[in-house]
């Protein structure tokens, strides 16, 4: 699962393969001064699982789903508001 700093899957990417209950603990690898928390404008689910994203940490706030293989820009509800992500398949 790739979470991108810019629209159109551009800029630095945060690429977890496990559940991330709190994005504020992570920074973008190529932009280490920038927290991943509330700094995602696009995504690409390269896994075979649906990922669920939330606007607050620990599955709080608004929930959205990103099906396997889907990529796109975050909607107004999620642009620069994603704070946690889960795939619910044991990882």
Q: Confirm whether 50 is domain-assigned.
A: yes
| pLDDT of amino acid 88 | 79
Q: Confirm whether 91 is domain-assigned.
A: no
The mean predicted confidence, pLDDT, of the chain is 94
pLDDT in tens, 6-46: 999 999 999 999 999 999 999 998 888 999 999 999 999 99
pTM over 0.85: yes
Q: pLDDT band for position 89 (50/70/90)?
A: low
- Domain membership of residue 74 as a residue range: 2-86
- The pair of three-digit structure tokens given for residue 64, joined into one six-digit string: 């959205």
| CATH number reported for the structural domain that contains residue 75 in this entry | 2.60.20.10
Q: Confirm whether 6 is domain-assigned.
A: yes
Q: pLDDT band for position 84 (50/70/90)?
A: very high
b/e sequence 15-49, b meaning 16+ C-beta within 10 Å: ebeebbeebeeebbeeeeeeebbebbbbbbbebeb
């Amino acid at each position: 699962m790739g979470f991108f700093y810019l629209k159109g899957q551009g800029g630095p990417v945060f690429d977890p393969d496990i559940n991330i209950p709190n994005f504020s603990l992570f920074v973008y690898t190529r932009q280490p001064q920038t927290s991943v928390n509330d700094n995602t404008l696009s995504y690409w689910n390269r896994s075979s699982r649906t990922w669920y994203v939330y606007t607050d940490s620990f599955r709080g706030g608004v929930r959205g789903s990103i099906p396997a293989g889907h990529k796109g820009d975050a909607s107004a509800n999620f642009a620069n508001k994603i704070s946690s992500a889960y795939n619910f398949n044991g990882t």
